[in-house]
Amino acid sequence: MVASVRNGRTGNLPAESNAFIGRRSELAEISALLGTARLVTLTGPGGVGKSRLALRAAHTVRASFPGGVWLVELSDLKNPELLTNTLAEATRLTEQTLRPLLEALCEHLDDGPLLLVLDTCEHVLDECARVAQELLAHVPELRVLATSRQPLGVAGEHLLSVTPLPLGERADAVALFAARAAAAVPSFTLTDTNRTDVAAVCARLDGIPLALELAAVRLRGFPLDRLLEGLDSRFDLLVSPARPRLARHQTLRTAIGWSHELCTPLERLLWARLSVFAGGWDVEAAEFVCHGGPLDAEEILALLASLTEKSIVTREGDGVAGRYRMLDTVRTFGAEWLAGLGEQDTVRDRHRDYFRWIARQGQAEWLGPGQRMWAERLSVEHANLRVALEECLAAPEPETALELAGTLWYFWFACGFAEEGRGHLERALRRAHDGGPEHALATWAHRLVTVVPDDVDAAESVSAAYVWVAEERQLPVPALPLTGASLAVRGESARSALLYGSSAQGPGGGGGAEFFQLLTLALQAYLLAGQGAFERCAAVAERLRADCAKRGELWMRAWGDFFVALAGIGLGRPDDALVCAREALAAKWRVHDRLGVAAVADLLVAAEASRGEPERAALLLGAGTRLWHAAGLPQLGDTGTTVFRREYARHLRKALGEDVFAEAVCEGRELSPEAALRLALDGVLDEPGL
């Protein structure tokens, strides 16, 4: 029997970037609350350290949550309607279903004790409250740890107010300042000589962690005594006789404002313009969006380095792949400055146009050797794409929204964001009149992302609507391979053959047209396999693989591997089939196609069974349940749902006996998606971390 394995769903917590200082009592209280309370919300003003405390607490308690600890960062989310999509993305649920996504998310998270960390809820508070309430009602073993400037207001919510760090020469505020100062200036050491001045700096900043960290960086240009003098003179301007001490939000704002004053005029201008980004940016994006007027594109890299030195922005990654981010409080200050300059609309338009260009570049190169790079790049830029789409949808002309949402067809369809893509496309189509290339593109893209296994009728309806539009407007009329494929999945091969055609064109040609040509070959292979014509299936699949190889394309090439493997099983060549199926599985995982991963995993069940490895096949049958669950279609992972899984379950049960079969399937079902992938690729049961 295969050795027992652990679930391995550890979650997505990032490593902590620096040492955590203090907060022992708060950490103990959070741990205790999460043992009994379903929802714990850390409240407090901006900059007080709620997010950092929540991350440390999540790391501290992760062993208590075998279902995983999942961080959902909400500061970059602008549209509350996309909260559930953001949760699905963070918890690795692929949006390949037309069921309500929240319903699918509840099923996805209902997998043992699990902690969800909702960070920065205040700007989407009502939707956070609604979704948290639904999740808690339908996922019994779920705990939620939220951070917000105000309570969510959900029944059963337990509040913990996060206050500034304690002050005093031996207190946590001094320890934090000293640690960050030593990181900024390695020669700095906290001594009995300078301890009093450090404590005075901390008192001047009310012990607010973000203010302390910004001030510590100032030691690169000021000795400690000058830093204290600067704080005194800067803050005294805001002290009134009626209020001898500054309110905490004034303290933080003043600390950020002082950092702003110490920047050069060009650094301030770049800071303001960078505030339009969501989820970070790279140098190319900053140069395109932020140049203009006195700010040349060639200066931006050096200015970014200077802002990084001042801790206004943070850098992640190395070399050309490096990205920059800005803390939410700092970005808000920059956005207010940008509005004051009167540049808000201009810079937002540049941001929108840059990401329209990125979408077009991705479409043009999708069927090429850069496909994996584009899948990863657009996933990284997801928050910025959402902002650009919202700008397009708010514009008076509907064409830009149609064009951007339609151009991203490959991202919605192939990278696991079908549900979100449908939402954007439907909003864009509702605003537009029929006609024009943008409308045709958006309608075609909507049809593409509507064809998912659990709503074929809707796909047929959209397909018929597109044919009518195309004929009325004299636009290219594609064949209907997607609808045909979905019908074939349901066993309706006769109807799928009637809908199938030999000419496949996407609106406007280009990437869409090439994609449909490849998709036509994939459907031919599928139908031939369904008819038992395995030699012809293999020939068509080999042609598909060759056409993809010419382009360096990965996503559709994997379906060619899939059908070659399927034909190999039918022709009695299971060893060859296993090799091809593993190649397909690795490729599908690389481009984040979890639906494809689940489908290929089912094929591996057949390959292993045909090779005389029934126990391993049963383990993979159970693992497939987990992979279908991760793809957002848990019903397709049920051994009794599809003909394929039902028949293989019957075959393997007979070969192994009921007890051994049930134990193997149960073991496979307990694997994480990553561990299931390892098993399928090389037979090694291991922890995640691919």
Distances (CA, A) of 76 to 120, 121, 122: 9, 11, 12
Query: What tokens were used for 460?
Result: 């047929």
Cα distance between residue 601 and residue 599, in whole Å: 5
Q: Are 597 and 588 in contact, with CB atoms under 8 Å apart? A: yes
- Beta strand pairing call for 39-43 and 142-148: parallel
User: H-helix or E-strand containing 146?
Assistant: strand 142-148
Number of alpha carbons in the 13 Å side-chain half-sphere of residue 549: 8
* Greatest alpha-carbon span in the chain: 90
Cα distance between residue 60 and residue 34, in whole Å: 11
Q: Can you say how many angstroms the Cα of residue 592 is from the centroid of all Cα atoms in its chain?
A: 11
**Regions in the chain scoring below 50 on pLDDT:** 1-8, 237-246, 453-510, 684-690
pTM recorded for the entire structure: 0.79
Q: Are 447 and 412 in contact, with CB atoms under 8 Å apart? A: no
> What pLDDT is stored for residue 286 in this prediction?
96
Query: What tokens were used for 297?
Result: 């594109």
By CB atoms closer than 10 A (0-12, 13-18, 19+), residue 673 is buried
Number of alpha carbons in the 13 Å side-chain half-sphere of residue 640: 0
Contacts by 506-511 with C-beta closer than 8 Å and gap 24+?
506/444, 506/476, 506/478, 507/437, 507/440, 507/441, 507/443, 507/444, 507/470, 507/475, 507/476, 507/478, 508/437, 508/440, 508/441, 508/476, 509/476, 510/363, 510/364, 511/363, 511/364, 511/366, 511/367, 511/410
> What pLDDT is stored for residue 187 in this prediction?
92
> What pLDDT is stored for residue 553 in this prediction?
86
- Beta strand pairing call for 314-316 and 323-325: antiparallel
> What pLDDT is stored for residue 686 in this prediction?
44
> What pLDDT is stored for residue 689 in this prediction?
39
Distances (CA, A) of 100 to 96, 186, 333: 11, 53, 37
> What pLDDT is stored for residue 645 in this prediction?
74
Cα distance between residue 446 and residue 462, in whole Å: 8
